[in-house]
Amino acid sequence: MNHFDAVIIGSGQAAPSLAVGLANRGQSVALIEGDKLGGTCVNSGCTPTKTLRKSARVAHMVRRAADFGVSTGAVTVDFPAAMARMRERVDTARRGLTAWLKRTKGVEVIHGWGSLAGFDENGRFIVSVGESKFSADKVFLNTGTRSFTPPVPGLENIDALDNASLLALDELPDHLIIVGGSYIGLEMGQIFRRLGSKVTVVHRSDRLAEREDEDVSEIIAKFFQDEGVTLHLNAKIAGVGRSMRGVLMTLEDGTEIAGSHVLFATGRAPNTDKLNLAAVGLETDSRGYVPTDAKLRTKVPNLWALGDVNRRGAFTHTSYHDHEIVLADLDKIKDRYQWKDADQRPTTYAMFTDPPLGRVGLSRTEARKLAAEGRNILIADMKMADISRAKEESETTGLIRIIVDGDSEAILGATVFGIAGDEIIAIFSNFMATGASYKIMQQALPVHPTVAELIPTILAGLKPLAAANA
Ligand SMILES: Cc1cc2nc3c(=O)[nH]c(=O)nc-3n(C[C@H](O)[C@H](O)[C@H](O)COP(=O)(O)OP(=O)(O)OC[C@H]3O[C@@H](n4cnc5c(N)ncnc54)[C@H](O)[C@@H]3O)c2cc1C
Ligand SMILES: NC(=O)c1ccc[n+]([C@@H]2O[C@H](COP(=O)([O-])OP(=O)(O)OC[C@H]3O[C@@H](n4cnc5c(N)ncnc54)[C@H](O)[C@@H]3O)[C@@H](O)[C@H]2O)c1
């Protein structure tokens, strides 16, 4: 039986850097992947969606050309060409990753589905891939998640799409029905609408992206409707079936929606079912995720879980950060300038609608709960419509919101929803990493004319949360 110092199961967003990091420390590493190297992000997540989003945004801006004094002919989208551009980007990213792993001495990539098969006589893990077995001193799980589809009557009679099969289409859907109005549903909905599909979003909550503040959900609903997307909120699906046009969806209130395709964007399920974790005495939580401590160690010694599967993040950057936590822990680094602990890092992400929503730390809804507990919480908002640069760009949708601890003066959260919000949010997350007073940020000299130049002005308007919303 071959032996490795470390075996990584799943080539998620932590795995390649972890594999190379361990190999650079002199360890022999096997990286096991059952599907395509690069995982969800590279193959059916971030990379393809952000590439296709660009085609959609170009189409949108060209349609708006007259707003900027530019005339065009009729605007058409060459869907196969946009998809080819996307696939080329994905293939290039995967090729680069594959080459990097191949040229790293000490890393062996093994294709197949990995699972645990107990311990050998020396107490080392046994890992199986098909008929092959390996022993390993350390095992790292980075197996990610897959699309979750809720039980819907009639589902077995239609070809429902998920993020991966939607991105594999060669023809533009005539009418795309999207179930779920959160990250995937909203990003895909806007992209396909702009590429030329009719789009209907069927969402079970009373507002889109219900984890965000109410006014953020309202803004999203407004620009979706302005772009011609039909929304069904508080919607309960009674059933789906085949129809002349493709699919007929019926809601419990009797509404019938005839579409050509249906995408389920209703959350994710962890890839732990193939892992046979019981063989090493590890249990998942009730939803199938792997519990870990803040250093991402499971209850079984020398077995770690990184990425979405540990439910401590659901993003590429959190998965990548997980590998830094693990390496720092193995190296016994105690650097006070680094967050090397999954409990301490703030939540930060962007939702890549257009305009994008950048978020870090507390939302207003979460901050209100702290204020209700008696914490001294300050808040300041500014509408994008009041920001010169946004006006100059004719892209005035959205808002900036900053939340501060009135006692410690630390920034607790920010929302930058508007032009370049996905980039500007890093100003706040970077600053929050210093733990410094917001008053220092207020003294920084911004460049004119930028959206970010308003940050000191917004901070000057901080008010107690309750009073700000009274
Ligand atoms: C449509 C979409 C868009 C997204 N956009 C963004 C975005 O813009 N920004 C962002 O930060 N996040 C985005 N995400 C989320 C992001 O893709 C994930 O959070 C990220 O990929 C982290 O995943 P991971 O490291 O846990 O593993 P994954 O990337 O999910 O990879 C896990 C890998 O493990 C493999 N695997 C599973 N089980 C086994 C096994 N038993 N043996 C061998 N291999 C196995 C799988 O085949 C897969 O390749 C998006 C997700 C989707 C679906
Ligand atoms: N920009 C990004 O970083 C990005 C982009 C896409 C995806 N992702 C990741 O992918 C993950 C999955 O995204 P997602 O949007 O599928 O999941 P999600 O869990 O964020 O949202 C699922 C949505 O579907 C709705 N829903 C669930 N069941 C429904 C039903 N039966 N009928 C109608 N609506 C229903 C829910 O109310 C919820 O709003 C997220 O956790 C996110 O981290 C990230």
- Residue 326 neighbours by CB under 8 Å, 6+ apart: 14, 18, 140, 295, 296, 304, 306
Active-site annotation holder among 111, 232, 261, 448: 448
Distance 145 CA to ligand 1 centre (A): 6
pLDDT of residue 408: 98
Distance 240 CA to ligand 2 centre (A): 20
Q: Which of 152, 182, 262, 348 to mutate to test the pocket of ligand 2 (most atoms within 8 A of CB)?
A: 182
Residue 196 contacts residue 77 (beta carbons within 8 Å): yes
**Any atom of ligand 2 within 6 Å of the Cβ of 220:** no
Cis amide prior to 80 (ω within 30 degrees): no
- In whole angstroms, give the CA distance from residue 89 to residue 50: 10
Distance 152 CA to ligand 1 centre (A): 25
Q: Which helix (DSSP H) or strand (DSSP E) does residue 185 occupy?
A: helix 183-195
Q: Which residues line ligand 1 (CB under 6 A)?
A: 9-14, 32-35, 39-41, 45-46, 49-50, 113-115, 142-145, 163, 184, 271, 274-275, 307-309, 314-317, 319, 352
Up-side HSE of residue 453: CA atoms within 13 Å toward CB? 10
Phi, then psi, of 40 in degrees rounded to 5: -60, -45
For atom 53 of ligand 1, which residue has the closest CA? 45
Q: Is 187 known to sit in a ligand binding site?
A: yes
- In whole angstroms, give the CA distance from residue 281 to residue 278: 5
Distance 147 CA to ligand 2 centre (A): 9
The tens-digit pLDDT sequence of the chain (470 residues) is 899 999 999 999 999 999 999 999 999 999 999 999 999 999 999 999 999 999 999 999 999 999 999 999 999 999 999 999 999 999 999 999 999 999 999 999 999 999 999 999 999 999 999 999 999 999 999 999 999 999 999 999 999 999 999 999 999 999 999 999 999 999 999 999 999 999 999 999 999 999 999 999 999 999 999 999 999 999 999 999 999 889 999 999 999 999 999 999 999 999 999 999 999 999 999 999 999 999 999 999 999 999 999 999 999 999 999 999 999 999 987 765 566 789 989 999 999 999 999 999 999 999 999 999 999 999 999 999 999 999 999 999 999 999 999 999 999 999 999 999 999 999 999 999 999 999 999 999 999 999 999 999 999 999 999 744 44
Domains of the chain: residue spans and CATH: 2-145+269-330 (3.50.50.60), 155-266 (3.50.50.60), 348-468 (3.30.390.30)
Ligand nearest to the CA of 318: 1
pLDDT of residue 245: 83
With tokens 């970010």, the residue in question is: 452
Q: Which of 13, 155, 165, 184 to mutate to test the pocket of ligand 2 (most atoms within 8 A of CB)?
A: 184
Mutual angle of helices 183-195 and 214-226, in 10-degree steps: 20
Q: Which helix (DSSP H) or strand (DSSP E) does residue 428 occupy?
A: helix 421-434
pLDDT of residue 467: 44
Ligand nearest to the CA of 212: 2
For atom 42 of ligand 2, which residue has the closest CA? 314
Distance 321 CA to ligand 1 centre (A): 14
Cα end-to-end span (Å), the chain: 69
- Using CA atoms, how far residue 39 sits from 85, 103, 164, 363, in Å, is 19, 19, 11, 30
Atom of ligand 2 nearest to the CA of 148: 16
pTM above 0.95, yes or no: yes
Q: What ipTM goes with this model?
A: 0.98
| CA atoms 54, 59, 60, 61: torsion sign | positive
- In whole angstroms, give the CA distance from residue 231 to residue 188: 14
The residues that bridge with 414 in the sheet, in sequence order, are 360, 402
Atom of ligand 1 nearest to the CA of 36: 49
β strands within 12-106, DSSP E? 29-33
Q: What type of residue sits at position 172?
A: L
Q: Which of 110, 204, 177, 187 is nearest to 351 (CA)?
A: 187
Q: Is 69 known to sit in a ligand binding site?
A: no
For atom 22 of ligand 2, which residue has the closest CA? 266
- In whole angstroms, give the CA distance from residue 121 to residue 58: 61
Distance 106 CA to ligand 1 centre (A): 24
448 flagged as catalytic: yes
Q: Is 121 known to sit in a ligand binding site?
A: no
Q: Is 281 known to sit in a ligand binding site?
A: no
- Residue 122 neighbours by CB under 8 Å, 6+ apart: 135
CB atoms within 10 A of CB 184: 23
- Using CA atoms, how far residue 412 sits from 236, 406, 408, 455, in Å, is 36, 10, 10, 15
**Any atom of ligand 2 within 6 Å of the Cβ of 351:** yes
Q: Which of 110, 29, 45, 112 is nearest to 323 (CA)?
A: 29
Q: Is 231 known to sit in a ligand binding site?
A: no
CB atoms within 10 A of CB 111: 14
Q: Is 303 known to sit in a ligand binding site?
A: no
- In whole angstroms, give the CA distance from residue 281 to residue 118: 8
